[in-house]
Amino acid sequence: MLQSKFRISLLALAMSFVLTGCGLDGDDGTIGETGSQGPQGDPGTGGGDGGDGTDGTDGTDASTGVSLMLVARATLGAQGSAEIVQYHKESQTIYATNSANNSIAIIAAGSITSNELTNPISSSNLSVTSINLPATAGTVALGNVTSIAISNDLLAVAVSAATATDNGFVLFYNGLENSAPAFLDSIEVGAMPDSIAFTPDGGKLVVANEGEPNGDYSIDPEGTISVIDILANNEPEETADTIDFTSFNGTQAELEAQGMHFPNPTGSTINGNAITVSVAQDLEPEYVSTTNGKAYVTLQENNGLAIVDLEDLSVQVLGLGSKSWSGLDFDGQENDAVSFAKYEGLNGVYMPDTITNYEWKGATFLMTANEGDARAYFFDVADEAACTAANGQSFDVTDGCLAYSDEVRLEDLSAQAGSELEALQADGRLNDLRVTSVLGDADGNGEYESAYTYGARSFTIWDQNGLVVFDSGDDFERITASIHGAEFNNDNDVNAGDSRSANKGPEPEALAVGSIGDRTYAFIGAERMSGIFVYDVTNPFDAFFADYMINRDLTEGSTVNNGIGDLAPESLLFVAAEDSATGEALVIVGNEVSGTVSVYQVTPN
């Protein structure tokens, strides 16, 4: 079995292809001549040897870069079990959600060394214990764990209600300093708490409550954001403050004009119910990042960003717009080959999942992993005839009756005569590409001028005004295609190369940022291909690619059941060198599909 595990240096990659929009180093300058030998002086008298002449400088001021090396790995024992990871630095302990058995994994990380794993695909050198989560919070039956966060000696655990459209809870534990979490309290929050984060000072916990509807839209809770104050005794306030979006009801047209997206079945009848979805119901907070004064929350399916002032709990909503693929390389064909081309009239809706932030020149900059996400809701019926009677669009034996979906193939859109979409359809290469039916019909006449894909297949740096500072463009697919050939755009449970090109490509999902020396790096995990990209983002206006790592055996036909490595990075966490057992910075990865936690040492070159 051929093992694929790569570390690509910036120099080696630059020699093989040019990256679009990456800000790569310039050509090396000529080497300066050796200086003449100075006179021999006595030690300590200031008359030392003459030094060599200095080398000529590079064409641009270049970073030395970093390399990733896999040094530790743990398995949680089940597929789909390792999603969100956190780290308690005082005890050098990793915590991870285990959705397979609704527990929290506790992984001792103090024994990690700087030695590279000799069999990284299947080896495991970290021991795992766990704590089971309670079945109820008071009288409310609890559902699945979704996220965790750590600050000081507090562990916060987000759990949905057993009836997912009901309000969920955050469970608090202390005792982390002894790696023995003890239950402290449970605080009610909104429906479907999906992401949580403490502020850097530990004074507040912010919760993104997604509030998705049930299968037939008969219950559609509002998406909300909860803020829980942490008291001076390091215990949570008994109740959370909840921020809703009702003030935005009636403003959908204005928000759409700002670049937001509202796919929903308003005006339809589903299972006998006439459906009307308000803006507050349609907004679904996905992922949260904090400073001490603000919370930044992605509204993934709506292609937006909510910014919360944590002092007065006011909220602002920004639309993120779209990205044109014109002039960039795009592969939308699943033909077992690398099939890049440039297409006019093709756009990508950012739809970010993970968000993080960092500072440059005293200003806050945001980073997003632009995964993309279509909406599709199914409900249970007896058979296809019952589905037709319930006004469903189609029936699937596995999923049930389709209540609503905005996802179609590009060939199924009705093209405006003479439009760029008509040319795309005549070309035929993108016929199977998944696009949204909600965007691209500018005049609302039922005929589309252009097409909009889910996600931007990139990561983006934004300024505090919501403007794009840097986007990685087509880098992710070009890099993986150069390295893996037709095995690029693989899915995350079976090796079938080029199997995701028509459907969101690599799906950038996980994201972390951290500083090493005087440089700042972003780490981005691709959910499908399962590789990790590293960018130097020290200057957000001059970000560039630095390294790539994948721990996956890409032998065609192998599946997750064969132990083919770490699959589907759902979360990344940066650990500073001073908090690491190795004395070097670490990146911890929660790999959802393989159910593994992997630890990379990040070493300056």
pLDDT tens digits, 471-510: 999 999 999 999 999 999 999 999 999 999 999 999 999 9
Task: Answer whether 64's CB lies under 8 Å from 576's CB.
Answer: no
Residue 561: Cβ within 10 Å count: 9
- What mean pLDDT comes out for the span 200-217? 98
User: How far apart are the C-alpha atoms of 286 and 432, rounded to whole Å?
Assistant: 28
pLDDT score, position 392: 86
Rounded average pLDDT over 165-184? 96
Q: H or E element: which one contains 256?
A: helix 252-257
Residue 379 has pLDDT above 80, yes or no: yes
Which residue segments constitute the domains of the chain, with CATH numbers given?
4-17+59-245+283-373+455-604 (2.130.10.10), 409-452 (no CATH)
State pLDDT tens for residues 70-96. Answer: 999 999 988 889 999 999 999 999 999
Mean pLDDT of the chain: 91
Report the percent of the chain where pLDDT is more than 90. Answer: 87
CA dihedral 446, 449, 455, 458 (to 10 degrees): 180
pLDDT (mean) for 541-567: 94
Q: Which residues contact 332 (CB under 8 A, 6 or more apart)?
A: 343, 346, 410, 429, 430, 432, 433, 453, 501, 502
Give the mean pLDDT of 402-419: 98
Q: Is the dihedral of CA 340, 342, 345, 349 positive or negative?
A: positive
For the whole model, what pTM was predicted? Answer: 0.89
Q: Which of 32-46, 158-172, 501-515 has the lowest mean pLDDT?
A: 32-46
Cβ proximity of 352 and 369 under 8 Å: yes
- The CA distance from 123 to 247, in Å, is 52
Specify the DSSP class assigned to residue 332: -
